[in-house]
């Protein structure tokens, strides 16, 4: 099989749980990880008859801020919809989501290869309950039911696994910088769903605009490594089917880590299968321009902007600035250290070297303590002249060979002698020691 015969066409749906205090449509606590099953529930998130949802204002604002960070247009009008399907973890028989009027549309994010990946939509919905499979039964924990969930949908612009992973890492970094989610995939805060299909590899730009007639979605992946493996497996599997003159089935699959393969789950639904209709219990939402601009003014500095500023303001290399801005905690710690270090004449580069090359415990070593340690390590002392002369005379007496080498033209021999003197003055000024040595050697 020719591996260059087909071109991957990949789109992504990413679900990000917001870390609001309460759930999306009720006042139950949104924190569920590690909690006893079914203790954070109420008639609303259990879908009991007569219970009415009330939207979480903070969750909506955070959803819009994610849209801003992804260069989206924020709509002045939006609404919630009912997405109907029957599954045990969905107590109402439908999910409150958004269909044709999401909060944010038409965004983009740039990759390192200068490709601009289109963001189709950023919309708000509620999470489902969690199924716990045991030997002969399945249990349901509804603590997660109703937790605010933002879905970020891209255009099918990815053509390689590398592009997908870079985008996902950028997205994780952005939501963490915004402070709206921990995006911890092990805890399910961020779940990845690639849509994968293949088309014939061609240089014809017209053909490259035509999407394949099918797509395969791989659901609920919780690590960058697994998404990489799942896509690579699908490319290989779909290539084999296309080589037989057939088209892969449009379906939803899951990643089986034990078998190292994707497995079929169900035929992929279309929008009409969900019977979307406007949520009758939540009125449409309208935003005036001042509300949108006020939210935009609250946006923090994002990773890309911080990266550029660190290089310019602190004269750091792109490599150093990239490492320091990966995590907001590191970037904030660095800047506070620079502010304190400026008074002690410690340069940003010196601070960057420590943070990059050594593990610093941010919780126990405050920036002031870090700077104190740096100052101590680089501090030089001017040595008492009388004491220095006595030590030098002793060193010269005990190292006659080095003395003779120096006097015979081997200038580098002075380095050996300086080292011997420095053993007595570890923090002594090297220039002072060298100049004093030279005077003694010339006598």
Lowest pLDDT segment from 116-125, 377-386, 413-422: 377-386
Query: Kind and range of the H or E element at 130?
Result: strand 130-133
CATH class for the region spanning 385-442 = mainly alpha
- Helix axes 161-178 and 224-243, enclosed angle (nearest 10): 150
Name which of 153, 160, 131, 129 is nearest 142 in CA terms: 129
Q: Which residue reads 């061609």 in tokens?
A: 202
Lowest pLDDT segment from 86-95, 126-135, 280-289, 372-381: 372-381
User: Could you report the per-residue pLDDT of 54-78, keeping only the tens digit for each?
Assistant: 999 999 999 999 999 999 999 999 9
Q: Kindly tell me if the per-residue pLDDT of 165 is higher than 80.
A: yes
Q: Kindly tell me if the per-residue pLDDT of 229 is higher than 50.
A: yes
In the chain, what is the straight-line distance between the N-terminal and C-terminal CA atoms, in Å? Answer: 82
Lowest pLDDT segment from 102-111, 323-332, 397-406: 397-406
Q: Kindly tell me if the per-residue pLDDT of 379 is higher than 90.
A: no
Would you state the pLDDT for residue 204? 64
Structure tokens at 24: 């999306």
Q: Which residues contact 178 (CB under 8 A, 6 or more apart)?
A: 62, 65, 66, 69, 299, 300
User: Could you report the per-residue pLDDT of 137-157, keeping only the tens digit for each?
Assistant: 999 999 999 999 999 999 999
Name which of 261, 177, 233 is nearest 8 in CA terms: 233
Sheet of strand 116-126: strand arrangement: 73-74, 104-110, 116-126, 148-154, 6-17, 190-200, 216-219, 251-256, 261-267
Average pLDDT over residues 240-266: 93
Would you state the pLDDT for residue 2? 44
User: Could you report the per-residue pLDDT of 289-321, keeping only the tens digit for each?
Assistant: 999 999 999 999 999 999 999 999 999 999 999
More confident residue, 352 or 384: 352
Q: How distant, in Å, are the alpha carbons of 165, 201, 312, 321, 367 from that of 307?
A: 20, 36, 9, 6, 20
Q: Which residue reads 């089935």 in tokens?
A: 249
All CATH 1.10.10.410 domain ranges of the chain, comma separated, are: 385-442
Q: What's the pTM value of the predicted model, to 2 decimals?
A: 0.83
């Amino acid at each position: 099989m020719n591996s260059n015969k087909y071109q991957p066409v990949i789109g992504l749906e990413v679900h990000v749980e917001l870390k609001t205090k309460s759930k999306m449509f009720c006042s139950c606590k949104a924190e569920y990880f590690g909690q006893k099953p079914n203790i954070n529930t109420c008639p609303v998130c259990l879908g009991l008859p007569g219970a009415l949802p009330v939207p979480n204002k903070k969750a909506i604002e955070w959803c819009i801020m994610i849209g801003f960070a992804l260069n989206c247009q924020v709509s002045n009008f939006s609404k919630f919809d009912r997405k109907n399907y029957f599954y045990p973890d969905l107590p109402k028989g439908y999910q409150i989501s958004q269909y044709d009027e999401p909060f944010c549309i038409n965004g983009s994010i740039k990759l390192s290869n200068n490709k601009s990946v289109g963001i189709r939509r950023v919309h708000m919905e509620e999470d489902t309950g969690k199924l716990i499979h045991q030997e002969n039964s399945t249990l349901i924990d509804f603590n997660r039911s109703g937790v605010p969930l933002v879905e970020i949908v891209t255009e099918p612009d990815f053509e390689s696994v590398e592009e997908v992973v870079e985008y996902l890492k950028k997205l994780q970094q952005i939501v963490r910088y915004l402070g709206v989610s921990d995006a911890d995939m092990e805890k399910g805060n961020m779940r990845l769903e690639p849509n994968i299909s293949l088309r014939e590899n061609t240089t014809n730009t017209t053909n490259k605009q035509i999407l394949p007639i099918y797509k395969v979605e791989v659901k609920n992946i919780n690590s960058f490594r697994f998404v990489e493996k799942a896509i690579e497996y699908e490319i290989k599997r779909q290539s084999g089917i296309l080589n037989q003159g057939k088209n892969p089935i449009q379906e939803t699959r899951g990643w089986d880590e034990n078998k190292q393969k994707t497995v079929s789950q169900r035929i992929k639904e279309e929008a009409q299968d969900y019977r979307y209709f406007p949520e009758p219990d939540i009125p449409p939402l309208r935003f005036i321009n001042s509300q949108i601009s006020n939210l935009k003014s609250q946006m923090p500095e994002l990773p890309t902007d911080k990266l550029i500023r660190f290089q310019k303001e602190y004269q750091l290399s792109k490599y150093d600035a990239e490492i320091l801005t990966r995590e907001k905690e590191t970037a904030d710690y660095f800047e506070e250290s620079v502010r304190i270090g400026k008074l002690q004449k410690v340069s940003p580069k010196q601070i960057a070297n420590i943070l990059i090359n050594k593990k610093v415990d941010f919780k126990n070593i405050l920036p002031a303590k870090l700077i104190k340690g740096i100052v101590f390590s680089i501090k030089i002392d001017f040595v008492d002249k009388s004491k220095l002369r006595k030590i030098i005379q002793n060193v010269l007496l005990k190292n006659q060979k080095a003395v003779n080498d120096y006097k015979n033209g081997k200038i580098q021999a002075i380095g050996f002698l300086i080292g011997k003197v420095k053993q007595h003055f570890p923090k002594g000024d090297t220039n002072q020691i060298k100049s004093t040595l030279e005077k003694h050697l010339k006598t």
